[in-house]
Amino acid sequence: RTLVMVDRRHNTYPVRADYIGISLSTSLRDHISVELEKGKATVYLQ
């Protein structure tokens, strides 16, 4: 089983996530930052 926090919907590799935290449509140039603090996750798209 595979878990991803952020699924960017780029299917470059033949790997499929079984569990997804959040799905975002992004470009390959976009950068995702994830901060985890006290059980809370914050996702930033740059």
Tens of pLDDT along 12-40? 888 889 999 889 888 889 999 999 999 89
Domain span holding position 11: 3-45
Amino acid identity at 32 = I
What is the number of structural domains in the chain? 1
Residue 37 phi/psi, 5-degree rounding, is: -150, 120
pLDDT at position 15:
84
Residue 7 bridge partners (DSSP): 23
pLDDT at position 14:
85
